[in-house]
Structure formats: structure tokens, C-alpha cells
Amino acid sequence: MTETAIPLAVIAGRLRDGRMSCAALAEDAIAAHEARGPQLRAYKSWEADRARTQARAADALLATGIDLGPLMGIPVSVKDLYGVPGFPTFAGTDEALPADWTRAGPVVSRLLAQLGIVTGKTHTVEFAFGGIGVNAHWGAPANPWSGRDGPRAPGGSSSGAGVSLVEGSALVALGTDTAGSVRIPAAFAGQAGLKTTYGRWSNDGIVPLSSSLDTPGLLCRTVADLAFAFAALDPEGGNETPARPLSGLRIAVPEKFFWDDADVSVSARVTDTLALLERRGATLVPVEIPGCEEVLAIFRKGGLAAAELRAFLERHFPERIARLDPVVRLRVQEVEAMSGLEYLRRREELALWSRRADSVFAACDVVASPTVAISPPRLEDVADIAAYARANMLVLRNTAIANLLGWCALTLPVGPDALGLPVGLQLMAPPLAEEALLAAGRAIEQTIGTGADLMGTCPFSS
């Protein structure tokens, strides 16, 4: 077992008892990036010397008994929407944003206060507005599981985040999730990802897409690592959430919607996993979630995000609208004629369906579905704007529901599809139920194995 395959909780313990060093961990991350970075292109900004300096400082402090927090000395990649002092913030645009956008908000401040080692800023879709992971200004990171038929989408909008974990240059990745932007890249890369409840973690210090829906989130190699990192960064503090018993876990399985137009092998992989969980003691509960079609209809029209991004751009960067990535500009321009009345109607309708949909949790602990209904598409197959729009909507459909209904959600890998590409299982839980969600995810992970167990060695990780 390599050092980067060891659980975060174990690594943290070894850094403190001297069996591992922060400097060596940083050198492993740097070496991994130097070996695989040119192929994978996960990062917009990379600072090896900064990481080395901070890792040595962490070692010196630990040697004197000063412990700043669980993530001390852990390599972390940060999506290039977050402000991180010393790093430019591009937000996927064609030039760096003003220096004010490099200021650390509460999430990054908690990371830096623990002396977590920021390895660099990972690529994002421009202003985070897209689920495929492409960027006309900087290109797309390569999905590490791509085969000989060409590079595939990394998933967006946190497009470099999942790739950085597979690369081995980070053990934790900070992303954001407005309609699936943590869970999609995690699922496409065979990693675990957590979307927090709106408002649980502050969006301050993060370039916004949608002020009504944006949520900070985490990507890690395993759900166990997610639980460790979540406890370290959550403002409420608390201990790492352990696994709950699988026996008695009530898993709601929607009979429609999430499975429509899904790839056969993706559906089969998720269905087989759920059947295994039932044999091991979980209870599967067939349900119909009210409002899915209705809130998706709003989402297809741009939801709240298109209008809110347009308002943000008009206020701060009007000169950049004409220079936007075409797949982003098209959606921003579509809301030019949208009235304030229509915007308020959408907000009210989403709130109504959110209240109604919460009733599903009276009969279950979590709702399960495929994270993404299709395999990661080849980048050349989504180069045309019309093809992109069709694929983008299908990629975002399953994940967007949790955002639109106000739930927290995670994804964990459940094995390969027929193409050998990762498949994710999405679990959704009520607002502010992250601990229960992580406990359920850990129970499932302990039953089926981690992504590394299920997927084997990635072509780009060895």
C-alpha cells in the first residue's frame, strides 16, 4: 500500500507520531503531479515550492507539540473559484479576476488555519456553469479513465478536482456544487464527493454562480476520507462520523425519472449494488419523489442560476459577457428577457416542491439513484454546441434534483460500466443531515469496498 492509499485518519495519526512526515507527503504529491500533470491537466495554478515550505513548517510545529487541526500537513487541491491568498483566481475565465477575489472566505480560512497544504488551484468550467467539464479558454482536464478511443469528460464544473485525486497530487479536493458540480466529477473519476446543504458552509470568498443554490463541497478518495475532512472543516466541529450498521438502513429507490434514458450498464451497476445491499441487510423502499419533473422543467429553462449569474456579471464584469465560453454565454443570454416576476415565480415553485418532497424521508433514511445516468462522454462528441447541450442536461439531471429540493447528497463509486468507466451511486438526505448521510455512505462503502477495490488501477495512477 502506498502512502496515498492510506486513509486520511491513519495518515493524520502517523504525521503526529512521527511515522510519516508532512514534507515526504508533499514530495509524493509533487512527484505525482510532475509525472502525470502534463497528461491530466488538473490544475490552473500549481505551487510546488509553496507546498514544500508549508509542509516543512507543519513538521516543525508538530515536532514541538503544536497541532493546528486534523488537516495539518494534508495536500489539498482547491477549485479555482475559491479565494486563496497567494494564488490568482480565474474562475475559468480568460484572465485573472481582481485581487479582491483572492481573499480567503470561511472554508479556505479553516483549511489554512489548520495548515492544510494547498497544492494548487484546479480547473473549473467558466463561472462553474456546466456539468461536462469543458472550458474554451483553457481546455478540459483529461478524465484519467479515458481509453484509446480518445479523452473523455472529467465532469464539471469542478473539472480538475476529481482528476487531482486520481493523479495523487491531493488527498482532499475543495469543490462547489450548484447542480452537481462536486458529485459529477467525483463520479466520473471514481472518487467520493459530498454536496453540503445550502447555507451550512458559507459561500463567502467563493466566486458565485447562483447565490440561491451554490454550496461548497468536498471530493476525496473514499467516503471515510470525506467524513474525516468534513468533520475537520465543518464550522460546527464534531468528531468524524462513523459508519452506521447496514442492517436496518432504509434506502428509497425512485422507480422513475432518475433511470430514464440511462446507459444500460450504468443502470445495471447501480441496480446490482442496491440488490447486494438488500441481501446484506438494508431495506429497499420503492418511492416516487414528488416534483422531480416540475423542478427539472424550471432547471431546463435556466433555473435560478442563469439569471443570478447574469446579474452578477452585469454588476461586476459586464465587459466579460461577450468573451464568455460559448456554452456558458448561450445560457446567460437566454435569460436577457426574463422578467423579475418569472424569477420570483421560479423561486416560489422550487420552495413549494421542496416542502412536498421532504415527505419522502418519513419512509427512508436516504434516497438512492445513479449519480450520473450516462458514461463520461468523449470530448469530441460534445464539441458541437447542440450535442453539448443535450449531454450536459443528461449529466446534470440526477444531481440537480438535490440542489433544487434543498437536500444534501453524496456520491460513491460502485464499480465500472461496460466501457470500464466509473459509475457512481448517489445518496440524498434531508437538509442538514450530513452526518447521517456520511454514516450511511460509510456503511455502504464497508459493504461493497472502496473505489480502488472496485475499479482496480487507473491507467494514469501507476
Q: List C-alpha distances in Å: 108 to 42, 102, 157, 225.
A: 19, 11, 19, 18
Kindly list the catalytic residues. 79, 157, 181
Do the Cβ atoms of 441 and 223 come closer than 8 Å? yes
Parallel, antiparallel, or unpaired: how do β-strands 283-287 and 117-122 relate?
unpaired
